[in-house]
Structure 1
Amino acid sequence: MPPVFRFAPSPNGYLHLGHAYSALLNFDLARMSGGRLLLRIEDIDTARCRPEFEAAIDEDLGWLGIAWESPVRRQSEHLADYRQALEKLSAQGLIYPSFESRAEIASLVAQREAHAPWPRDPDGAPLYPGTAKLLSPDARAGLIESGVPYALRLDMTAACARCGELGWLERGAGPDGETGRVAARPEAWGDVILARKETPTSYHLAVVVDDALQGVTEVVRGQDLFHATGVHRLLQQLLGLPSPAYRHHGLIPDASGRKLSKSTASTGLRELRAEGATPADIRRLVGLA
């Protein structure tokens, strides 16, 4: 079977050079290996995702000369797939609701940090204190029935105990040069959110479900997602899903050396094209021959 690659942008802004690099790299690798390239639109965030941004993604990728298979998978059209995965995890007793607001969580963390350093995830955010685990089933049900907003979290300790040691095949390199067989460290993220009352899935859950259902065998994405692969490997194991090979690539920085954002007009593909840049210019700018 030929390898299957995918490019999976979110239509919450216009593409920039970092997106172009990832999309072109996926396209080149698929073409060189005789593989397939899929396009997935990750549009779960209904508050920020807009049709005009999705149309611009198609336009920018077409201008770059990138071709992909149809049909395009849009996450908003497959909510039942994520619900089924959540139900499977719930049946294993690995999910619980938490009801604290972001401000309340920050206050809980500040109280603990007054006595000792509090652990943080690889992105620098403090881990969830886990206070909702202490609620009784009746208390949880009462809060949900009363309409209190909640997030569904993975009980990381129980999940890791169920799966044991995990790892993945890294064809690229992590931020510290990790390559080859890499040990997964999902526990570094604490009890991650898998869904919210108003949002039926999270990035972590949706990406592993989508990759499995689309038959993706090669995940090529930025190094900013390297450590998150530990969570993805854990979810794959819990849900009985296959694990693709991963290739994490370096990021294209802005003028100050920071990761690009969709608000960085100087590196936006639309702006560069309007200034006369060609697809060949974009390839040179991102370091691809």
Structure 2
Amino acid sequence: MPAAKTLLLGLKADHFRHPLDLQATQSLKQLPGLDLMVRNLLAPLAEQFFYLENIASSILVSDQQLPHLHQLLVEACKVLDLEAPQLYIRQHPVPNAYTFAMRGKQPFMVMHTSLVEMLNPEEIQAVIAHELGHLKCDHGVYLTLANLIVLGAGLLPSWGTVVAQQLQEQLMEWIRCAEFTCDRSALLVSQDPKIVMSVLMKLAGGSPTLASQLNLDAFVAQARAYDAISDSQIGALLKQAQTAQLTHPVPVLRAREIDRWSQTQDYQSLLNRQNMEYDSKAEPKGGWRNW
């Protein structure tokens, strides 16, 4: 890891929220009763199903349990000026990570062992920072509903088929937009776009044996080729159909988006507005809170 990182004290979600995330969130807020339903009906259900399941079936990371991962979490939280959630490691063959922020409970995130095994420490921290982005941006209400749809099939109440389909489509669009914001959160912690893009590359086609052989420059060039498809109306429609049912934008598109944002004045201003630095081998400098 780099010896020093800029601390983003006082960082607010609107400082880095992606415009598509903002637009999609506003659309969901216009659905009557959705917030109330999730907070009062679905959140307790998710709490019982997911929180207890993770306590029973996963490893809780701490300074006494997998301390190197705990340190990555603590450092990422300091950079983002955020309270640390719980982090669980779960045995699972599909590389994935997800976050829950439920009413009355400490937020927690889960990382699958297959994802940890595929990434180096800097990349693991970028994944942690991505998940922290959901907490920083208060995605909890709609993220709970999205996780129930994706991870908790059969737990949702039965609605009319048309209504349920429309809600799911709108929610999947929201979470894809929210992922762009969380990739920005990963960049704010890693402070190196190549680290975030490397994670996305490995998610697209990596494995513990192939990861070290992948070429990031070639992957970025591949992302530009994907962009070129939108030059035609048919290409744009095909791309839209390809991603309509996905919970995440395709990795190459996410890589291009983070590459672009890393070159903007907005991103540079966020890093330059703070003169304090955090050195992982030294005592903190400045006046941040104890964690």
TM-score (norm 1): 0.26
Query: Which structure has more strand as a fraction of its residues?
Result: 1
Tell me which structure has the larger Cα radius of gyration: 1
Query: Which structure has more helix as a fraction of its residues?
Result: 2
